[in-house]
Structure formats: C-alpha cells, structure tokens
Amino acid sequence: MQNRKVWGYLGLAARAGKAVSGSFCVERSVRRRRAKLVIVSQEASENTKKTFRDLCTYYKVPLYIFGTSDELGKTLGKEFRMLAAIEDEGLAKAAAGQLEQEPNIGGSKYGE
C-alpha cells in the first residue's frame, strides 16, 4: 500500500514540474540545493548508488533506494529511469514519511 502512495507523490511532483530525472539533472538539482528527496532505483549500478549516496550525504538530501527503473519511469511519464529527485518540500516530506514506514527500503536520511 505504501508503495502506491510513494509513486503517487512522485507522480504529483512530476505533473507539477517539481521532479527531475536522470543522472545529470538529479546531480544538478542536488548541487543547486533544489532537490528535497532523491530516489535511486534498486537496479542502478553500485557505482551510481555510491556516487549519489556520497553527493546526498554532502548536501544533506535524503536518499532512498526504492523500486525498479520501469516503475520509476512510468511514474514520471517517461521510459525507464534510474534516478529521480523531488524538488517540492511538502511532497518530499510526504514521500519520505511513507518510505520510512517500509521496513525493506534501502537508504535513509542524508544517504547514510
């Protein structure tokens, strides 16, 4: 049930123009301090996970490893995606709250 809510919040952010996807765009959003939450697909390479874990730790952005690349892409209305960032504070908090309730979700606040 929580999974649908997380995808719902990400979908709302995408429709509102407050979500970005793809390695370059997510990195730029984090560095410009616009990203409030980063989601990395479980299918992403270990190098990608480490890179964004380190980046999010440095910039203090919550990072979660969640879902498949196909689910992430469909939610954003695109093809498969490995990374997404929510740039809206309220939607990011709501999604993070749902992700925190899931016991098998990888990741935590600030990528630690």
Task: Indicate the pTM of the whole model.
Answer: 0.88
Say how many domains are in the chain.
1
We report the CATH number of the domain holding residue 71 as 3.30.1330.30
Q: What is the domain extent for residue 27?
A: 2-111
pLDDT of residue 38: 96
pLDDT of residue 35: 97
- Does residue 105 sit in helix, strand or coil? coil
Place of tokens 């809510």: 5
Tens place of pLDDT per residue across the chain (112 aa): 457 889 999 999 999 999 999 999 999 999 999 999 999 999 999 999 999 999 999 999 999 998 899 999 999 988 889 999 999 999 999 999 888 887 666 555 555 5
pLDDT of residue 104: 60
CA distance 47 to 3: 25
